[in-house]
Amino acid sequence: MADSTRHMVQLEKAMEQYEKLIFSICYRMLGDYFDAQDMTQETFLTYYKVLDRFDGQNEKAFLTKIATNKCLDFLKSKRRKEMPTEDGILESNVGTVSSLEESFLEKEINEELSNACRTLKPPYDEVAYEFYCCDKTAKEISKNRGVKLKTIQTQILRSKKMLQKKLEKRHE
């Protein structure tokens, strides 16, 4: 079977299995039905484009990460477009201000996530930090640590649940 045909079959299977999940993630992040539909399509389009480089491990996590990044990019671009301008201020300056704001907020969020990862008990602290803050894949972490991939995937899943609880408590 040709790569493009195989990729098409893989895409269709992924859409059948995860389309509702991806749409719900997009809808929760964006709060708009039509934008969520667009970002769901964008997610699967990106997935199709990177199938050659995808190692096949944890397809669900891979797709949710793509969806999350697509929605964050969409929100950033939407905020830039909606930012009010004053007379005499060039549009490019508004983009710079917006970018500075966004980079500050992103840095703040990353620091909060990094600190939350470090408060987890071992080995979850280091695995979570590498996965969420250093953008390493489960496969890379597994290889670097000499630990079975399934063990690392389980630790990532557990650390995610622990982090969600910690971060929810901080924001209540």
In Å, what is the CA distance from 80 to each residue of 36, 94, 103, 139?
Answer: 19, 8, 13, 36
Stated pTM of the model: 0.47
13: CATH: 1.10.1740.10
Name the pLDDT band for 31 (thresholds 50, 70, 90).
confident
Other residues' Cβ atoms within 10 Å of the Cβ of residue 80: 16
100 and 171 share one domain? yes
What is the residue range of 120's domain?
A: 96-172
135: CATH: 1.10.10.10
d(CA 51, CA 76): 26
Name the domain boundary from 32, 47, 82. Answer: 82
Q: What is the pLDDT of residue 97?
A: 46
* Residue pair 108/127 in contact by the 8 Å Cβ criterion: no
Q: Is the pLDDT of residue 116 over 90?
A: no
74 and 133 share one domain? no
pLDDT (mean) for 5-33: 88
In a domain, 77, yes or no: yes
In a domain, 91, yes or no: no
Q: Is the pLDDT of residue 168 over 80?
A: no
63 and 101 share one domain? no
Domains in the chain, number: 2
77 and 100 share one domain? no
Name the domain boundary from 28, 56, 82. Answer: 82
Name the domain boundary from 28, 50, 82. Answer: 82
pLDDT (mean) for 18-25: 90
In a domain, 88, yes or no: no
d(CA 119, CA 139): 23
Q: Is the pLDDT of residue 119 over 70?
A: yes
d(CA 90, CA 159): 45
